[in-house]
Amino acid sequence: MGSLRRAVIDIGTNSVKLLIGEVSGHHVEPLREESNQSRLGSGFYETHQLRPTAIARTARAVADFAALASQSGVRRPRVIATSAARDAVNGEELVSAVRAACGLPVEIISGEQEADWVFLGVATDPALGGQALLIVDAGGGSTEFILGEGRHAHFRQSFRLGTVRLLERLRPTDPPAAEDWARCQETLHHLFDREIGPAIQPALSALTHRTVQLVGTSGTASILACLAKRLTTFDRDRIEATRLTRAHVRRERERLWSLPLEQRKALPGLPPERADVILTGVAIYEAVMEKLHCPDLRVSTRGLRFAALMTPHG
């Protein structure tokens, strides 16, 4: 089977991302990846109205990435949108703005579809074949939990827990105070005790005979790998399969929550535009590891966009 060059533009709550790749069956060879922190979900969670300025920033980012895709030989990249777009009461305004900016349609995907694609993308890694996996994709507006083996998911659910959503709810001081962390921890523990734990524990209990590997496939997980390896640029080969112990994640959370924003921006491996949401991102993964008793976190650079490239669309 010959390969096809495809591109996907992923509109998230925090950022717009581009992936261009050569696709052959379930194999994706990434050729180019870009990210623009358009913050579509900025100021969104009080009213569930996407702000006109955020819509305009996002539409411009999509148009810029569509032009890059065209330069790489993909005339009509796929455009998908996730949490903020699907939760918004005015999501059609985003769809219209993107169409006006570059003529492309936008697929607003459900939380279940997002979880399915995250699992499908991560499962393309042959090193994970045959293992029982708990995949956690902590995005800006939602976090997807998927439990599965091989190419079969036993459990998948999207929760309204995200780095931007949580940050806008908590609004910590700069630098964060001890009370800010206590409130963040209490919020996360409450959510795990009341919603996430009861939803996923039955599926986890059915796999007591297997060792379940926690896999993180979000921007936060990749940044934690970059911080651990002091990488100043995105290096897929060095990030892929990084393992972070629960103690390491806890120490990193303690460090990040102790620093003011400007000092976090200067850390090697942390993009300055992600220096605010990394606080809630690392807190989410720490809570996952603590509440679900995961000894380590394996970082994957595959996920949603890999699957979107592999999956045909109209």
Cross-strand bridge partners of residue 156: 146
Average pLDDT over residues 174-188: 98
Q: What is the pLDDT of residues 222-232, one digit of tens each?
A: 999 999 999 98
Model pLDDT, residue 2? 77
CATH architecture of 4-109: 2-Layer Sandwich (3.30)
Model pLDDT, residue 25? 86
User: Does 112-304 match 4-109 at the fold level?
Assistant: yes
Domain boundaries, the chain: 4-109, 112-304
Reported as a pLDDT band with limits 50, 70 and 90, residue 121 is very high
Reported as a pLDDT band with limits 50, 70 and 90, residue 150 is confident
* Helix 278-291 and helix 219-229, axial crossing angle in degrees, nearest 10: 100
Model pLDDT, residue 147? 96
Whole-number Å distance between alpha carbons of 229 and 238: 8
Percent of the chain at pLDDT exceeding 70: 99
E strands, 170-304, are 212-216, 243-245, 296-299
CATH architecture of 112-304: 2-Layer Sandwich (3.30)
Q: What is the pLDDT of residues 33-86, one digit of tens each?
A: 999 999 999 888 889 999 999 999 999 999 999 999 999 999 999 999 999 999
209 pLDDT exceeds 80?
Answer: no
Whole-number Å distance between alpha carbons of 84 and 40: 7
* 3 state SS of 240: coil
Please state the pTM of the whole predicted model: 0.94
Model pLDDT, residue 1? 55
